[in-house]
Structure 1
Amino acid sequence: MKNEKNIAILKEMAEKVRICMFNTLTDDGFHSRPMGTAKIEDDGSIWFFTNEYSPKSKEISKDNEVNLGYSDPSNNTYIYINGKAELVDDQTRKEAYFSPFVKAWFPEGADDPNLILIKVTPSVAEYWDSSSSKMVVAFQMLKAIVTGNTPDMGEHDKIKF
């Protein structure tokens, strides 16, 4: 039950941020790029659109371990996800998840022959969320300095899938 609740929290937080740093492995180390989240399903799987012939597609085909970093400093929300990626050619999902935002990269729409989906199946995720205002966060930090205690920075949890 806790896992379902945490997935729902994670889904809500990531959908608000929407853009993540999508990190793949190469022979030279990590390769990062910003990516817009197309869909997060109730099981926690995260979907993205990409070009089937892009470097990230080749990187995923070689080593499918990826990590995603979502960050919204204005709302003190941070999410880190490790998982496995796979390239999925599913026309029904392409049509369902396609948006005007994606059309900027794929003007032919969901029928673009180069369009493919990336499905990330998380193995572990960690999030930090302090929906408090900057003033409250600053007060908590000042209070911690004065009292010598750790500041209360909101919710933090680790989810194993």
Structure 2
Amino acid sequence: MTQNSSEGIKELAKLIHGVKFAMLTVQTAEGHLHSHPMTTQDVEFDGDIWFIGGKDTAQVKAMHSHPQVNVSYARPDKGVYVSVNGTAELVEDRAKLDELWSDMYKAYFPEGKEDPNIQLIRISANGAEYWESEGKVRSLIALAKGLVKGEEAHQGKNETVNL
């Protein structure tokens, strides 16, 4: 099933809220896909996803040439999985940096917000897909019933969101 933009954004915001880390996948110059963990910013999802990265990283360099990326979130304890495809933009915006900054980033940027290596990354979501199950026990029961009856196991909700 496919959801429209506004209801899809609300549902995605609910699903990814509180997920501390996401996996950001970029395409390298050689065409390989490379994923790495990024800290999720504590801002409401409105169709854009924000990260803070380093200008000198391979990931940021890859986004210059290949801005199409994927961001995935997982909450296995809740049975929630989200995959967002979008376009990365490397942004210079002091006000946005002030909004997103936390002292935790000093571990990566010793000079604080003044560190010249800081790179804001905005992912403008093009679309997403998510899977939501009713929890591990119910999913295992549905899988077992499907195996016994020789039927497809219905283990929850799978939606596509066009943004």
TM-score (normalised: structure 2): 0.87
Alignment partner of 1:16: what SS?
coil
The alignment covers a number of residue pairs equal to 160
Partner Cα separation in structure 2 for residue 77 and residue 42 of structure 1: 16
Partner Cα separation in structure 2 for residue 141 and residue 42 of structure 1: 33
Residue in structure 2 matched with residue 129 of structure 1 by the alignment: 132
Are 2:100 and 1:97 aligned?
Answer: yes
Partner Cα separation in structure 2 for residue 42 and residue 16 of structure 1: 11
RCO (CA 8 Å, sep 6+): is it higher in 1 or 2?
2
CA contact (8 A) 1:126 1:156 kept: yes
How many percent of aligned residue pairs carry the same amino acid? 32
Are 2:127 and 1:111 aligned?
Answer: no
User: Which ranges in structure 2 are unaligned for 5 or more consecutive residues?
Assistant: none
Report the residue type matching 1:38 in the other structure: Q
CA contact (8 A) 1:15 1:37 kept: no
Residue in structure 2 matched with residue 10 of structure 1 by the alignment: 12
CA RMSD between the two structures: 1.9
Per-residue deviation, residues 110-160 of structure 1 (Å, max 9, x unmatched):
222211200001111100012x33211111111222333322322211011
Matches within 5 A, 1:8-157: 8-28=10-30, 29-130=32-133, 132-157=134-159
User: Which ranges in structure 1 are unaligned for 5 or more consecutive residues?
Assistant: none
TM-score (normalised: structure 1): 0.88
Partner Cα separation in structure 1 for residue 82 and residue 34 of structure 2: 18
Distance 1:40 1:153, change over 3 A: farther
Distance 1:13 1:46, change over 3 A: same
Report the residue type matching 1:85 in the other structure: A
Partner Cα separation in structure 2 for residue 70 and residue 88 of structure 1: 23
